[in-house]
Amino acid sequence: MQKSLSLIVFLFFALQIQAQSPVGRWKLLSHTVDFGGEKMDTHAALLQQRPCAAKIVYEINADATFRLNAAASGCDQKYIDIQQKLYSKTQWKLEGNLITTSATNFAVGQSYKVSFSGDKMTWVGTEGQGTLVYQKL
């Protein structure tokens, strides 16, 4: 009986840890920043100019790579190439509820407090980078 209970508790915590993982394919819903004392959604502004960006996928991989995949977005090839190159060396790491991304092997990086709610993941910048909201695909 005690072994069964221990197994159930272990599985519960294992599933909770997995549920809180950023690993997966994500769609960016918003990127809100403070601009001159006012909130502005830079992602919404981008979508007005490039509606194809709504189909960009952010891939957070178990091997610690963080990639932007715009191949199926319908954006022009030059834009796809530029955006994908920006993320070509990006890595991520999670320590507690702090996620850090870096393209310089963490010599320099950006950190965010990360939280999860259903299929949404929210990153709140620790140094004024704003708030990003992703939806799991």
pLDDT (0 to 100) of residue 36: 87
Residue position matching structure tokens 């919404």: 44
Residues 6+ apart with CB under 8 A from 73: 52, 53, 54, 55, 56, 80
pTM: 0.84
Read off the pLDDT of each residue in 102-109 and give the average, rounded to a whole number.
96
CATH number for the domain running over 22-136? 2.40.128
